[in-house]
């Protein structure tokens, strides 16, 4: 059985991270995705290092399960081909801020294809004073105060290494597209909008409610931004996560004995260590962490985790990517899968996040070369072979 979105056609007119990840998710779920690239290609092809073959690792990771056509969108013929593709599609995924031609905007596209679900992804939203500002991942993280949760006050800003703004916007875009397709029988096609900035704000809603009218000022939703950086709990050979649900006196005694840290009873902050058992999320974590670490340095991480769990706590390893992809649970779940990427060979990729019992997501197609499917796509939307040849000869279509 094919994926849940089998039978839907998606046209992607986007670059970088957000739009391509949106369209890839739809492709992973079985949709037929056609990626329109400008003559120079998606900018992410030129990112990195790291490079894999002729493309960046980032590009290959965000563009599987698509076919590609490359158009010179500075020419009327190129725009006309793009419009023909939009006319054939159920869904358009478009970078609102990088529209190559006004006739590809949502209104003319909807006149062309009233059933089209047109998803515009922007930096800051469809209206407001910043609507036309050029946007990107770092600007969105800074403007939405997402960087407040990293670094040290007074020091240079630190970005989230994951492209949170772009990925969150893509995840919301997929939701909106699917919802609009569900409503299409009644409502027809429509324009939907998501933005990097708005998605970051939505994802931190818990913080905004916490700031509304709290009974008291503490807890990680309120005061974590004024704490120092959290690097886990360092042991002899790496860091771990620990927490305890509660710490009765006798359990604490036994734990301190096993960790050879009875000395901590004489420390002025011992009272806080005994009551604040929530680990990195705790109220006094920044004060009690160094005390735990002083003891943990005498043990390998494995042993610290065993001791903590033996005394009723929770302990987890703090993985980097090397440890994550080799972790037995990650391997059991098949989080890393392999796809045969031409020019690279068997390539490891991260699997789609959903497990469907009847309509499984599949890795069907490797990321396309620039213009790889141009000729086939032109034929599918009704251009005769001689016309297609003409477009390719004159450079309107790169194939």
**Residue ranges in 81-110 that form contacts with another protein under rule CB under 8 A:** 106
With binding defined as CB under 8 A, does residue 52 bind another protein? Answer: yes
Q: How far apart are CA 344 and CA 338, in angstroms?
A: 12
Q: Is 264 exposed, middle or buried (0-12, 13-18, 19+ CB in 10 A)?
A: middle
CB of 300 to another protein, least distance (A): 17
In this chain, which stretch among 4-12, 65-73, 257-265, 379-387 interacts with another protein, using CB under 8 A?
4-12
With binding defined as CB under 8 A, does residue 348 bind another protein? Answer: yes
In this chain, which stretch among 276-284, 368-376, 377-385, 386-394 interacts with another protein, using CB under 8 A?
276-284
CB of 148 to another protein, least distance (A): 7
With binding defined as CB under 8 A, does residue 388 bind another protein? Answer: no
Q: How far apart are CA 335 and CA 367, in angstroms?
A: 19
Between 58 and 273, CB nearer to another protein: 58
Paired tokens of 384: 């005769």
User: Strand 190-195 to strand 117-122: parallel, antiparallel, or no bridges (unpaired)?
Assistant: parallel
In this chain, which stretch among 49-57, 68-76, 249-257, 371-379 interacts with another protein, using CB under 8 A?
49-57
In this chain, which stretch among 9-17, 74-82, 269-277, 376-384 interacts with another protein, using CB under 8 A?
9-17
CB of 207 to another protein, least distance (A): 6
Q: How many CB atoms lie within 10 A of CB 385?
A: 10
CB of 306 to another protein, least distance (A): 14
Report yes or no: 381 and 85 within 8 Å, Cβ to Cβ. Answer: yes
Phi, psi of 193 (to 5 degrees): -130, 140
CB of 244 to another protein, least distance (A): 13
With binding defined as CB under 8 A, does residue 364 bind another protein? Answer: no
With binding defined as CB under 8 A, does residue 193 bind another protein? Answer: yes
Of residues 145, 147, 177, the one with CA closest to residue 162: 147
Per CB under 8 A, the list member of 236, 326, 355, 394 interacting with another protein is: 355
Per CB under 8 A, the list member of 201, 247, 288, 399 interacting with another protein is: 201
Residues in region 234-253 near another protein by CB under 8 A: 240-241, 243
Report yes or no: 29 and 330 within 8 Å, Cβ to Cβ. Answer: no
* HEC readout, 332-352: HHCCEEEEEECCCEEEEEECC
CB of 91 to another protein, least distance (A): 11
Q: How far apart are CA 74 and CA 78, in angstroms?
A: 7
Per CB under 8 A, the list member of 349, 363, 365, 381 interacting with another protein is: 349
DSSP letters of 270-320? HHHHHH--SGGGSTTHHHHHHHHHHHHTTS-HHHHHHHHHHTTEEEEE---
Per CB under 8 A, the list member of 128, 290, 345, 395 interacting with another protein is: 128
């Amino acid at each position: 059985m094919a994926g849940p979105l089998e039978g839907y056609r998606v046209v992607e007119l986007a670059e970088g991270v957000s739009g391509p990840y949106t369209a890839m998710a739809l492709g992973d779920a079985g949709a037929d995705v056609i990626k329109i690239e400008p003559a120079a290609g998606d900018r992410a092809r030129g990112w990195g290092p790291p490079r894999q073959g002729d493309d960046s690792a980032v590009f290959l990771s965000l563009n599987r399960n698509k076919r590609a056509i490359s158009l010179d969108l500075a020419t009327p013929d190129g725009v006309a081909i793009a419009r023909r593709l939009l006319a054939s599609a159920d869904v358009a995924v478009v970078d609102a801020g990088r529209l190559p031609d006004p006739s590809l905007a949502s209104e003319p596209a909807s006149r062309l294809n009233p059933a089209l679900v047109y998803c515009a992804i922007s930096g800051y939203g469809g209206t407001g004073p910043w609507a036309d500002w050029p946007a990107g991942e770092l600007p969105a993280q800074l403007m939405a105060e997402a960087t407040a949760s990293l670094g040290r006050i007074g020091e240079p800003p630190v970005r989230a290494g994951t492209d949170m703004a772009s990925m969150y916007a893509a995840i919301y875009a997929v939701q909106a597209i699917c919802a609009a397709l569900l409503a299409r029988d009644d409502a027809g096609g429509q324009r939907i909008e998501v933005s990097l900035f708005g998605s970051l704000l939505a994802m931190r809603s818990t913080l905004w409610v916490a700031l509304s009218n709290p009974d008291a000022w503490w807890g990680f939703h309120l005061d974590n931004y004024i704490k120092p950086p959290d690097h886990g709990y360092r042991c002899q050979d790496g860091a771990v996560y620990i927490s305890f649900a509660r710490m009765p006196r006798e359990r604490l005694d036994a734990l301190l004995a096993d960790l050879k840290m009875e000395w901590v009873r004489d420390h002025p902050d011992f009272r806080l260590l005994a009551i604040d058992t929530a680990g990195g999320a705790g109220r006094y974590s920044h004060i009690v962490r160094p005390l735990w670490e002083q003891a943990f340095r005498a043990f390998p991480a494995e042993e610290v985790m065993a001791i903590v769990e033996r005394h009723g706590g929770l302990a987890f390893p703090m993985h980097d990517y090397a440890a994550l992809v080799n972790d037995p649970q990650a391997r059991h779940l098949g989080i890393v899968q392999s796809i045969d990427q031409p020019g690279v060979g068997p390539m490891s990729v991260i699997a789609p996040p959903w497990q469907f019992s009847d309509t499984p997501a599949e890795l069907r197609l490797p990321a396309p070369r620039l213009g790889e499917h141009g000729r086939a796509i032109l034929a599918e939307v009704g251009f005769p072979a001689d016309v297609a040849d003409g477009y390719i000869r004159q450079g309107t279509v790169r194939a």
